[in-house]
Amino acid sequence: MKAEELKLIVQDKYGAIAAQSKEQNQSSCCGSTGCCDNMDYTIFSDDYTKLEGYNADADLGLGCGLPTQYAEIKAGNHVLDLGSGAGNDCFVARTIVGETGWVTGLDFTDAMLEKSKKNLEKTEFKNIDFVKGDIEAMPLDTNKFDVIISNCVLNLVPDKQKAFSEIFRVLKPGGHFCISDVVLTGELPEKLQEAAEMYAGCVSGAVLKDAYLDIIKQQGFTNIEVKKEKEIEIPNNILLKYITLDELRAFKRNKVGIYSITVNGTKNGQ
């Protein structure tokens, strides 16, 4: 499938998700309409509820980590959240940067941008903005941000080299990123690799962990460090929508691992 086709699938899926609650996402990506794949999009997510700045309206359960926990954000920083969705991580980051900082959320799904802006209107924050844009070609200035965060989104980007090249470009010299994402150990069965729904669910778009870290290194980042790693168990009933029982047994036997990692990297320079 071509990159633009994949992007349209992601926009369509997450546009549908934006129209519903976290609870509905736990049963399917389209709630009671049954228009999608009954994927539970919250099986990857961590618990945000105890974080300062948590906004329940912005929590759709779509993340796979807590990037702000390891991002070393400081008061006054300008922070960029890639794939900001309903604004969950942006509101947490705003609590850390305070009134002297700024938080920008970037997303390319209109429904998510509309939802995040409505959530922002319910707050008194004046230093958050949400911008429409593609992570592979961000409509943002070079050397602009102190910190970049992202939560289970880079996995959905077809060209990860372009994405990390753009992250490098828009970071200030000395700036850094903290990204939570899904990676693999071992090869996914071919049918899972080709499943568009699983792509939008953050599985079939995943690459090998070592390859993912190598892409980051190739773009010029240093101090690359995996801060957290956890294995993700995809329920058998979901996997069996795409592969046979024998293929599932082989999948388990070959010990293919699906992991959430939170990784940091720094853009050196003056």
- Give the chain's domain count: 1
> What pLDDT is stored for residue 200 in this prediction?
63
What is the residue-averaged pLDDT of the chain? 86
- Across the chain, which distance is largest between two alpha carbons, in Å? 57
- Say if CB 267 and CB 220 are below 8 A apart: yes
Q: What is the pLDDT of residues 126-140, one digit of tens each?
A: 999 999 999 999 999
Residue with tokens 């369509």: 12
Q: Alpha-carbon distance 81 to 77, whole Å?
A: 13
Q: 56-115 pLDDT, tens per residue?
A: 889 888 888 999 999 999 999 999 999 999 999 999 999 999 999 999 999 999 999 999
pTM (2 d.p.): 0.86
Domain extent for 88: 3-266
161: amino acid identity, one letter: Q
For residues 67, 71, 76, 80, the Cα torsion angle rounded to the nearest 10 degrees is -50
Residue 23: CATH number of its domain: 3.40.50.150
